[in-house]
Structure 1
Amino acid sequence: MNWDIVLVYAGKALLLPPGLNLLLMAVALLIGRKWRLLGVGLFGLAVLSLVALSLPITAEGLMARLQPTTAQKLSLLPPDMQNAAIVVLGGGRRSSAPEFDSADTVNARTLERLRYAARLQRQTHLPVLLSGGKPFGQATAEAVLMNDSFISDFRGAPNWLEADSRNTAENAEFSARILKANGINTIFLVTHAAHMPRAQHEFEQQGLKVLPAPTGFHQPGSGKTGPLAWLPSADALAQSSEALHEQLGQIWYGLTD
């Protein structure tokens, strides 16, 4: 078990909704015994912020600040590119999936990235690097699971696996070593649109030219328009949490770069 990663994930759970809101509620109950007015105010802030972050209109606003404004136009790409490759970042796994004989497999976010990368490879005929390790000491690296899915589900042809990284910064660092050793200096970077600004920055820090190839856009509206945009939902809360996670990650990497 990589305890440094466990601590990072625990810290994120307490700094992002709904963990942060629950923490504020707990603090409010504790201090409310002595400072009633302050406790009531803090509890109200926790509840109101949780409701606000659960609104589709809030989630869309937070996401709009992160996502690239456009996707890659595959029809406009040159037919042959030199010294370039496609890099796909892992987006998570499903452990002990019963429908796959209780083996680990990729989750829906990773599948979405692999699907788009396969399309991109068919268009460009470029080599592909899959990046993802074992952040919690799992038996199989995420890149290996991605490789199995890329071949069997999408008929893709990966060229390299980067199986040691535990986060986005390590994705970039370890992938760059493999790419540069093979004469690659330009990459199409495949990850979710909200994750792209942070991921692109990390790969550019490694001296690579990055052509963003985002997928999984959160489109404005997405079925929640008019009065529905003001009704709290679990999906909107998850989307708000994802957006705040990316903003928190940008701040952290900005401080540690």
Structure 2
Amino acid sequence: MSTTETLDLSQAVARELPYLRRYARALTGSQDSGDRFAAATLESLLEDLSVVATSQSPKIGLFHAFHLVWTSAGAPTAEADDVITAGALSHMAKLTANSREALLLHAIEGFSEGEIAEIMQVSETEVKHLIETANREMEASVTGRVMVIEDEAIIAMDIVDIVTSIGHSVTGVARTRDAAIALAKKERPDLILSDIQLADNSSGVDAVNAILADMGDVPVIFITAFPERLLTGDKPEPAFLITKPFTEEQVRSAVSQAMFFSSTATLGH
């Protein structure tokens, strides 16, 4: 491989790194744990870029390299350092092997079944089975109260419909920071699903930070048209970040995933 080709591949991998880190955190249940595996993946690629060079695309190659590193370590999740995470890991132990990985790759990262088959080195039939299994097992395992922070009425209605269709209840919809804080105090949610930019130009991040400061650990999913603004690597990040426009499957998957993990470290501004 020429120096120019190596440089081009390296640049392509760098562009996809924020999304690998998002995936790694959601998969392992912690930013620190996810970042460690992402870093180990990059170290392996520094020694040998052939995994990326021989894949359909640099992104598929990068995620395949991560899969190799993560599975070689025994596909671990983060150590439980609180009661909520311990409960999440207990649920995880009941899931069919590899199903959560396949679901995250498909629903959150947007890979096709064929691409996931290449990443995980299994057949497309197996990928389809794993995704169906993960959806069924996770949606059946945890239900709770979801608070929605979203200023666009149609989007909020869509989210509410999706959340209730998989067995959760909705405590209400808030359109501003102050309304969100008031709603959370009225009825404590088990999960918060929040937009970033709200109706009065207030911040969904600020709203979530205020709620978490008052209530402690509550799982959070952020929705934004600009995920790169939160996936910077220089501050605590959300485990679950849905990009607008989103699909029903993305919301279903993220809600089920977030009910497993309470990765809600307060975000910086």
TM-score range, shorter chain: 0.3 to 0.5
The structure with the largest alpha-carbon Rg is: 1
Greater relative contact order (Cα < 8 A, sep 6+): 1
Q: Provide TM-score, normalisation by structure 2.
A: 0.31
